[in-house]
Structure 1
Amino acid sequence: MEHTGQQARRPANDGPKAAARNRAALVTAAREVFSEHGLEAPLSAIARRAGVGQGVLYRHFPDRTAAVAAVLEENVRQIEQAADAEGMTFAGVLGVLTWHLAQSAAFIGLLHAGWAADRSGIRAHALALSARVERALRRHLPHGHRLGAPDDLMLSVAMASAAVTGATHEERERRALAAWRLLGVDVGPVRPYDG
């Protein structure tokens, strides 16, 4: 009887559900920690922020490159989903992109590809993700838009991302919007894409 009581108190093992929740928490925590402390922030800070042990962190992300790649993939996936949404405009997709610029130092690194240059395997991945961002934006770029020339679109994104500095998300967002305004580009509501 006592054995049954002990088993009843043991938490259920959610298996794959727990793994998916842990991974999502780690990606969110990595985005926040990298945004606050840069891409060289200790990985232990990510585990603490996510509320998991370092073993769980390393099961999902064996090194810094894997953690950065996961944040980048999530950023790009949200921009692609926004671009695929019915009724989405170029300004709307730029609003989602701008939210990610203000939220994620890793994403800015992707758009400049500077951080990735010295990391094994991440440069090619960063370039592929950057190309996906460009395709998502170009699907909504109006014909004859001032950024329609081959290099102008991503050059303007890199210019706006270079302006994203500041201690708070609000300050980074304000500076990004100012950069877009100076480039003469309208941006929709700055927000994450949540489906």
Structure 2
Amino acid sequence: MTQPLTPAERRPPNHGPKAAARNRDALIVAAREIYAAHGLDAPLSAIARRAGVGQGVLYRHFPDRAAVAIAVLDENVRQVEQAASAEGARFPDVLGVLTWHLTESAAFLGLLHADGAAGHSEALAHALVLSDRVGSALRQRLPEGHRLGPSDDLMLAVAMVSGAVSGPTREVRELRAKAAWRLLGVEVGPVRPFEG
């Protein structure tokens, strides 16, 4: 005969559909953390555990690993757009938010390149759309006459900095990103997530 669970051992209540958005947000945050620490080969079960949900919940929101990565990239771009749209935002501050996301999500850049190389055109096409959205957001705050204003210099600089973002820890990646911006002669504000 099984013993009844004590209150401390009971599972949290199932909030059903009301929890869907909260669960999805938790999965995105967990995926960013897990992938930043362990790379893209980290088990999806680790993401579900970190988010405090079962694997079934993860698969309801994201059918595969690429879908998780794209969701994180979408959220990154959304935060850059919010930073650019914030009242009084300055270009260096928006670059600081972008740089934070580059250092946090460096592992995702490899996925996008690998998907493109392997012929997964859907993920690559999505990455191009996201890149266009980032460019649009940055141009909102690019001061007139800025050194990155001509032609495609702005997104070329972003690509160069993202290429420099490598290293075993987020701190090392941030130092390399800041050094890359400095070498390009571009001022970057505090490297942190957007806090709206």
TM range (shorter): 0.7 to 0.9
Q: Which residue is equivalent to 2:195?
A: 194
Q: Which residue is equivalent to 1:72?
A: 73
Q: Which residue is equivalent to 2:4?
A: none
Q: Which residue is equivalent to 1:28?
A: 29
Matched, 1:48 2:49: yes
Taking structure 2 as the reference length, the TM-score comes to: 0.87
Alignment CA distance shift 1:11-1:182 (3 Å):
closer
Flag structure 2 segments of 5+ consecutive residues without an equivalent: 1-9
Question: What one-letter code is carried by the residue in structure 2 that aligns with 1:182?
Answer: L
Does the CA contact (< 8 Å) of 1:160 and 1:176 recur in 2? yes
Alignment CA distance shift 1:125-1:51 (3 Å):
same
Cα displacement (A) at 1:107: 5.0
Does the CA contact (< 8 Å) of 1:72 and 1:106 recur in 2? no
Q: Which residue is equivalent to 1:145?
A: 146
Q: Which residue is equivalent to 2:82?
A: 81
Q: Which residue is equivalent to 1:171?
A: 172
Moved more, 119-128 or 64-73: 119-128
Alignment CA distance shift 1:77-1:147 (3 Å):
same
Q: Which residue is equivalent to 1:160?
A: 161
What is the alpha-carbon distance in structure 2 between the residues aligned to residue 10 and residue 106 of structure 1?
Answer: 33
Does the CA contact (< 8 Å) of 1:95 and 1:189 recur in 2? yes
Count of aligned pairs: 185
Does the CA contact (< 8 Å) of 2:106 and 2:166 recur in 1? no
Does the CA contact (< 8 Å) of 2:40 and 2:108 recur in 1? no
Question: What one-letter code is carried by the residue in structure 2 that aligns with 1:102?
Answer: T
Task: Let me know the Cα RMSD of the aligned residues.
Answer: 1.9
Taking structure 1 as the reference length, the TM-score comes to: 0.87
Flag structure 1 segments of 5+ consecutive residues without an equivalent: 1-8
CA-to-aligned-CA distance 1:5-27 (integer Å, 9 cap, x gap): xxxx9965423332222111110
Does the CA contact (< 8 Å) of 2:24 and 2:61 recur in 1? yes
Moved more, 126-135 or 150-159: 150-159
Cα displacement (A) at 1:152: 0.8
Does the CA contact (< 8 Å) of 1:75 and 1:107 recur in 2? no
Q: Which runs of 4+ in 1 moved over 3 A?
A: 9-13, 106-110
Q: State, as a whole percentage, how many aligned pairs show the same letter.
A: 70
Alignment CA distance shift 1:18-1:174 (3 Å):
same
Question: What one-letter code is carried by the residue in structure 2 that aligns with 1:48?
Answer: R
Does the CA contact (< 8 Å) of 1:30 and 1:46 recur in 2? yes
What is the alpha-carbon distance in structure 2 between the residues aligned to residue 79 and residue 65 of structure 1?
Answer: 21
